[in-house]
Amino acid sequence: MEEILQYLHTKDNYALFAGFAAYLHTGVEPSPDIDVFVSSHTDVKKITEDFIKKGWNQFDFKTNDFFMSTVKKNETTFDIIFSEPAQKVLLPCRIVISFQDKPLYTISAEALLLTKMNQLTSLKRSDDKTKRDREVIHVLREKIDVQKLRKLLQTLEDSFWTRGYF
């Protein structure tokens, strides 16, 4: 994970989400992977190429409603995702959190709460991840700004509600 974080410390075209974003916001320990939303298809390709050059293996690539690449090294995976709804909704409200005295961009606490609540409805979610998601939601309820949450709710695409993702 350290190699991914060092790379991200030098970039500004992404927002962490899922487990590592939850860790930054709440301290709940993540699984050994990092997920980012990026601002374009080109960003997905460029970041993937950068990691392949560093010895990572690309093992998944999807292009249906979103554009995603997954690279893996040892037990760590890095999911790089572009989706228009995330670009319109999540990237504009991203925030900076300092980690190891360096900036990392992450989705807001309000966006994280919504995405974690959404993930709880997935029947494919493991018991371990579901337990972590519940812990994250519990902590986030104390941290969120309800006005920001209400504003964010008004911008969500239908796919968030009907398909469970951005």
More confidently predicted of 19 and 158:
19
> Would the pLDDT of 88 be above 80?
yes
This prediction has a pTM of: 0.88
Average pLDDT over residues 35-58: 93
Q: Which amino acid is at 21?
A: A
Beta strands in the chain (DSSP E): 14-17, 33-38, 57-62, 67-73, 76-82, 95-99, 102-106
**Contact by Cβ (8 Å): 65, 35:** no
Average pLDDT over residues 10-30: 92
> Does 2-156 carry CATH code 3.30.460.40?
yes
Q: What is the pLDDT of residue 41?
A: 87
Res. 141 pLDDT band, cuts 50 70 90: very high
Q: What is the pLDDT of residue 31?
A: 81
Average pLDDT score over the chain: 89
Q: Is 145 helix (H, G, I), strand (E, B) or coil?
A: coil
Q: What is the pLDDT of residue 165?
A: 66
Q: Tell me the two tokens of residue 58.
A: 């690309």
